Amino acid sequence: MNKRFGPPSVLLAIAAGAMLGTLLRYSINAAAFDSIFPFGTLMENWSGSALLGALTGFFAIFTVREWISAGLGVGLCGGYTTFSTLVSDTVLLGSALSPLYIAAYILPTIVGGIAFAWAGFAGGQRLGRKLRSSEEGRRL
Amino acid sequence: MNKRFGPPSVLLAIAAGAMLGTLLRYSINAAAFDSIFPFGTLMENWSGSALLGALTGFFAIFTVREWISAGLGVGLCGGYTTFSTLVSDTVLLGSALSPLYIAAYILPTIVGGIAFAWAGFAGGQRLGRKLRSSEEGRRL
């Protein structure tokens, strides 16, 4: 976790990533077939968790400039996924205390999100190691 | 849930809201005191859920233009809160399967988020009714 405020390039990259990610989320929700069950938000939170996991795993092996990692992680993945909609939907649908809704939406979102982030992290690390070893191979 | 793609004014408002919300989230995380426990993300997800709940409750009483509600809801609250960081942090910290971490971070985030969204929704509706009745009072 980076605990200092980044330079302008980082802030610009975060802003651009946030715009792209949020408009992508909005487009998916607009295109999602009408249903009381928020499939769109579920898909966004799952795929965004996989992507952030993969990026984190990759950048743990392959160091990139801060504006690239912050723009893709904090900006793109942060804007693309949403927590407020996840919990507000449960209130909006008047089912905040419904065990069925929690079992069918909240719980799979969380458990799936962790699993996708974990799988993404492992995949990202593997890709990073592969690219690094092929780079080292070229140097020999 | 709006299932059609909005006009340019809506897309622009979402993009602007997303930038603001995401930079605000980044600033809070940068300022949050260094700790293994993600206090910053917890605070953002709780307060963003309260805000989206309040906006949703208020707009249920008080109809506003679509660019305003989408810019504040989809854009600002969506960019300000994050789901991918919530689940990726558990993987990053190598504690995805730790019951302690789930009990100390994931569960309070979810339960608190729902409670804050619910309280915000009730508060937003109350404010909307108050404003509407004072408006009607002036018309008499």
> Which pLDDT score is estimated for A6?
85
Please check the confidence at residue B14 and state whether its pLDDT lies above 90.
yes
> Which pLDDT score is estimated for B101?
79
Interchain pair A83, B27: CB under 8 A: no
> Which pLDDT score is estimated for A94?
62
Contacts of B37-44 with C-beta under 8 Å, sequence gap 24+, read: B37/B104, B37/B105, B38/A1, B38/B85, B38/B89, B38/B105, B41/B82, B41/B85, B41/B86, B41/B89, B42/B105, B42/B108, B42/B109, B42/B112, B44/B80, B44/B81, B44/B82
| Residues B46-72: b if buried by 16+ CB within 10 A, e if exposed | bbbbbbbbbbbbbbeebeeeebebbbb
Res. B120 pLDDT band, cuts 50 70 90: very high
Over residues B61-117, the pLDDT tens digits come to: 999 999 999 999 999 999 999 999 999 888 876 655 677 777 888 899 999 999 999
* A71-90 residues touching B, CB cutoff 8 A: 74-75, 77-88, 90
Give the span between the Cα atoms of A40 and A47, in whole angstroms. 11
For residue B81, say whether it is annotated as part of any ligand binding site: yes
Q: Average of pLDDT values for A20-28?
A: 97
> Which pLDDT score is estimated for A110?
93
* A89-108 residues touching B, CB cutoff 8 A: 90-92, 96, 106
Q: Where are the domains of chain A?
A: 8-139
Please check the confidence at residue A19 and state whether its pLDDT lies above 80.
yes
Closest of A135, A81, A87, A116 to residue B107, by C-alpha? A87
Over residues A41-78, the pLDDT tens digits come to: 999 999 999 999 999 999 999 999 999 999 999 999 99
CB A75 within 8 A of CB A18: yes
Q: Check residues B97 and A139 and name the one with the higher pLDDT.
A: A139
CB-based contact, A8 to chain B, within 8 Å:
no
> Which pLDDT score is estimated for B1?
44
Residue of B51, B81, B91 with shortest CB distance to A82? B81
Q: Average of pLDDT values for A14-35?
A: 91
Res. B3 pLDDT band, cuts 50 70 90: low
Residue of A21, A38, A78 with shortest CB distance to B85? A78
> Which pLDDT score is estimated for A97?
60
Q: Check residues A53 and A140 and name the one with the higher pLDDT.
A: A53
